[in-house]
Amino acid sequence: MIRRPLLPAAALCATLALAACNNSPEAGRPDTTPTSTTATPTASPTPKYTAEEEAAITAAKSRYVAARGAIDIALSAPEKSKRADLENAGNGGNWLIGVVDDVEFQRKNGWYQAGKVQVTFAGVTSVTLLGQQPRVTLKVCVDASKTSTLFQKTKKPVPMGPSDGNRHLTESVLVYAPPTGKTTKMWFLIDEKATGSC
């Protein structure tokens, strides 16, 4: 059995003196008032994006997948590819010009792409709904490991130089704007820059 040490006489006298100084008959008695054990409710965290921003992000992601899919189709059959199909799928701006150049390069060299690029979204960098062209910037992991470039005639792989890998983390910019010659707006992938591997 553990024994508590006795209070020194001076401490005991001080305690009794404090009780005697208080005229209340309750002085010196322990406080038996129950304490509340209910936790104070905390506010739920503020959502990072508004409902309108979330809708824009969802639409931009969907358009990104469609734009990338159209590029896969164009590169798999460069001789049949049309710029209008790429634009209607959501490729625009300088990005569209680069894609058209790539398709034309494949066509001239008698090459084509086998397989499809895999897309994984890594997050959202920014959302701006103000101005004439709302903008969403996405972080995207683009995986080209299931694609290869082949000769049209022989179906054999085209010898390629050193590669910096098949999986790239990109910063992809989409804007909400009307297609050429139209007034109804849609999301367009207009720029994409590699920022690392994923």
Percent of the chain at pLDDT > 90 equals: 70
Asked whether the predicted pLDDT for residue 98 surpasses 50, the reply is yes
Which residues on neighbouring strands pair with residue 192, listed in sequence order?
172
Taking Cα atoms as reference points, which of 170, 139, 176, 171 lies closest to residue 53? 176
- pLDDT on residue 13: 35
Fold of 51-197: Nuclear Transport Factor 2; Chain: A, (3.10.450)
Q: For position 47, what pLDDT does the model report?
A: 67
Sign of CA dihedral 67, 68, 69, 75: positive
Pair 197, 169: CB distance under 8 Å: yes
Which pLDDT band, with edges at 50, 70 and 90, does 29 fall under? Answer: very low
pLDDT higher for 27 or 185? 185
- Model confidence at 2: pLDDT above 50: no
What's the full length of the chain, in residues? 198
pLDDT for 23 beyond 90? no
CB 198, CB 166: distance < 8 Å: no
What was the pLDDT predicted at 40? 47
Domain-wise residue ranges, the chain: 51-197
pLDDT above 60: residue 12: no
Q: Which pLDDT score, from 0 to 100, does residue 1 have?
A: 40
Is the pTM here over 0.85, yes or no? Answer: no
Instruction: Report, as an integer, the average pLDDT of 40-56.
Output: 76
Task: Examine the pLDDT at 106 and tell me if it is beyond 90.
Answer: yes
Q: Considering only 17-21, 111-115, 118-122, 193-197, which range has the smallest mean pLDDT?
A: 17-21
Residue 18's pLDDT band, with cuts at 50, 70 and 90, is very low
In the predicted model, is pLDDT for residue 14 greater than 70?
A: no
Tell me the per-residue pLDDT of 133-158, one tens digit each, with 9 for 90 and over. Answer: 999 999 999 999 999 999 999 999 99
Residue 46's pLDDT band, with cuts at 50, 70 and 90, is low
